[in-house]
Amino acid sequence: MRRGSYHIQDHSAESNLFAQRAIISLFFIGSLMLLLIGNLFYLQISSYNSYQTRSNENRIKVQPIQPNRGVIKDLNGKILAGNEPTFSLEIIPEQIANMDETLAEIGQIIEISDEQIKVFKRAIKYRRRFKGMPLKSKLTDKEVALFSVHQHKFSGVSIEARLARHYPYGEYFTHGVGYVGKINKKDLQRLDDTGQLKNYAATRSIGKIGIERYYESQLHGITGSQEVEVNHRSRVLRQLSVTPPVTGTDLHLAIDVDLQIKAKEIMGDNMGAIIAMDPRDGALLTFYSNPTYDPNLFVNGISQKEYSKIIGSKDKPMLNRVTQGQYPPASTIKPQLGLLALDKGLITVDTTIWDPGYWRIPNIEVQRRFRDWKPQGHGHVNLLMSIKQSCDIFYYDLAYRLGIDNISEFGSKFGFGDYTGVDVFEESTAIMPSRAWKKARFKESWYKGDTISIGIGQGYWTATPVQLAMSTAALVNRGQIVEPRLVTGITKNGVYQATATKHRNPVVLNNDKHWDVILDAMYQTVNASDGTARTAFKDAVYSSAGKTGTAQLFGLDEDEEYNVEDVAERYRDNAMYVGFAPYESPSIVIVVALENAGGGGSHAAPIARKILDLYFGLGLAGKRDLTNTTLPPVDAN
Partner 1 sequence: MVKTENERRRSSIWFRFHIDVPLMLAILTLMLLSVFVVYSAGGQNIHMALRQVFRLGIGLGVLLIVAQVSPFFYQRWAPHIFVVGVCLLVAVLLFGDMGKGAQRWLNLGVTKFQPSEIMKLSLPMMMAWFLSKYTLPPSTKNTFFSFCIIAIPTLLIAKQPDLGTSLLVASSGFFALFLAGLRFRILFGLGALFAAFLPILWFYLMHAYQKQRVLTFLNPESDPLGSGYHIIQSKIAIGSGGFQGKGWLQGTQSQLEFLPERHTDFIFSVFSEEFGFIGVLLLLAVYAFIIIRGTIIAIRAQEGFTKILAGSLTLTFFVYLFVNIGMVSGLMPVVGVPLPLVSYGGTSIVTLMASFGILMAISTNKRLLAA
Nearer to partner 1 (CB atom), residue 36 or residue 366: 36
- The candidate with the shortest Cα–Cα distance to 392, out of 378, 408, 411, is 378
Binding string, 585-604, against partner 1, x = CB under 8 A?
--------------------
Stretch that binds partner 1, among 9-17, 216-224, 263-271, 616-624 (CB under 8 A): 9-17
- Least distance (Å) between residue 34 CB and partner 1: 10
Nearer to partner 1 (CB atom), residue 22 or residue 222: 22
Give the separation between CA 386 and CA 390, rounded to whole angstroms. 5
The region that residue 36 occupies, defined by phi over 0 for left and psi between -120 and 50 for alpha, beta otherwise, is: alpha
Among residues 1, 5, 26, 76, which is the contact residue for partner 1, using CB under 8 A?
26
Nearer to partner 1 (CB atom), residue 8 or residue 500: 8
- Least distance (Å) between residue 241 CB and partner 1: 16
Q: State in Å, rounded, how far the first CA of the chain is from the last one.
A: 115
Nearer to partner 1 (CB atom), residue 20 or residue 304: 20
Nearer to partner 1 (CB atom), residue 62 or residue 631: 62
Residue 422 exposed, middle or buried by CB count within 10 Å (0-12, 13-18, 19+): buried
Residues, the chain: 637
Among residues 21, 360, 368, 538, which is the contact residue for partner 1, using CB under 8 A?
21
Angle at alpha carbon of residue 417, lines to 385 and 321, rounded to 5°: 85
Nearer to partner 1 (CB atom), residue 17 or residue 242: 17
- The candidate with the shortest Cα–Cα distance to 524, out of 391, 353, 385, 337, is 385
Nearer to partner 1 (CB atom), residue 55 or residue 113: 55
Among residues 17, 240, 364, 618, which is the contact residue for partner 1, using CB under 8 A?
17
Stretch that binds partner 1, among 27-35, 150-158, 161-169, 566-574 (CB under 8 A): 27-35
For partner 1, the binding residues in 163-192 under the rule CB under 8 A are none
Binding string, 332-371, against partner 1, x = CB under 8 A?
----------------------------------------
Among residues 2, 5, 12, 36, which is the contact residue for partner 1, using CB under 8 A?
36
Instruction: Please check whether residue 599 is in contact with residue 548, taking contact to mean a CB–CB distance below 8 angstroms.
Output: yes
- Least distance (Å) between residue 93 CB and partner 1: 17
Stretch that binds partner 1, among 23-31, 143-151, 176-184, 568-576 (CB under 8 A): 23-31
Give the separation between CA 388 and CA 338, rounded to whole angstroms. 12
Instruction: Please check whether residue 399 is in contact with residue 455, taking contact to mean a CB–CB distance below 8 angstroms.
Output: yes
- Least distance (Å) between residue 38 CB and partner 1: 10
For partner 1, the binding residues in 37-96 under the rule CB under 8 A are 37, 39-41, 43-45, 47-48, 50-52, 54-56, 58-59
Give the separation between CA 339 and CA 516, rounded to whole angstroms. 10
Among residues 27, 33, 131, 512, which is the contact residue for partner 1, using CB under 8 A?
33
Alpha helices in 83-140 (DSSP H): 99-109, 114-126
Those residues whose C-beta lies under 8 Å from the C-beta of residue 294, and which sit 6 or more positions away, are 170, 171, 174
- The candidate with the shortest Cα–Cα distance to 134, out of 235, 236, 228, 204, is 204
- Least distance (Å) between residue 484 CB and partner 1: 56
For partner 1, the binding residues in 374-413 under the rule CB under 8 A are none
| Catalytic residue ranges | 331
The region that residue 195 occupies, defined by phi over 0 for left and psi between -120 and 50 for alpha, beta otherwise, is: left
Give the separation between CA 101 and CA 318, rounded to whole angstroms. 39
Binding string, 236-265, against partner 1, x = CB under 8 A?
-x----------------------------
Alpha helices in 423-464 (DSSP H): 435-442, 448-454
Number of residues counted as binding partner 1 (CB under 8 A):
40
User: Under DSSP, is residue 24 helix (H, G, I), strand (E, B) or coil?
Assistant: helix
Give the separation between CA 305 and CA 260, rounded to whole angstroms. 29
For partner 1, the binding residues in 208-237 under the rule CB under 8 A are 229-233, 237
Give the separation between CA 393 and CA 456, rounded to whole angstroms. 9
- Least distance (Å) between residue 431 CB and partner 1: 60
The region that residue 222 occupies, defined by phi over 0 for left and psi between -120 and 50 for alpha, beta otherwise, is: beta
- Least distance (Å) between residue 245 CB and partner 1: 27
Residues at the contact surface with partner 1, assessed by CB under 8 A = 6, 8, 10, 14-15, 17-19, 21-22, 25-26, 29, 32-33, 35-37, 39-41, 43-45, 47-48, 50-52, 54-56, 58-59, 229-233, 237
